[in-house]
Amino acid sequence: MASRLNPYISFNGNAREAMGFYQAVLGGTLTVSTFGEFGDKDAPYADQIMHAQLESDAGYTLMASDTPPGMAFNPGDNITVSLSGDDGDRLRGYWAKLAEGGTVGVPLEKQMWGDEFGALKDRFGVNWMVNIAGS
């Protein structure tokens, strides 16, 4: 899989509805995973979206999630740039450069879904997520 760059939108409990809307607009295939599928089965937010991905018929990719409890939801500041793929060395290099002068929110490390993942705000205030598949 090649690396990809795409928008990642955070929602406040209505990610499923929003992504259904975007699928109706853009077409394509929508995949959805809930927080409950990844260990929070009994949590009040178990049915909320941990990750959704729309692959449009035109080749666009849009990703989204509901904002988990304990994390701030700020309309207008709820879009992040996502870098993902399986080229670990390249993506780790991007991570290191983006982190220079920035603030790391989630260190780039192995996560419960099996990938290496991290989140940061770069020195210009832009939010980034890096996900390395199958690390």
Identify the segments of the chain with pLDDT beneath 50: none
CA atoms within 13 A on the CB side of 110: 3
Residue 81: Cβ-neighbour burial (10 angstroms; 0-12, 13-18, 19+): middle
pLDDT, position 44: 83
pLDDT at residue number 109: 97
Assess contact for 120 and 102: CB atoms under 8 A. yes
All structural domains of the chain, each given as residue ranges with its CATH number in brackets, are 4-132 (3.10.180.10)
Per-residue model confidence (pLDDT) at position 135: 61
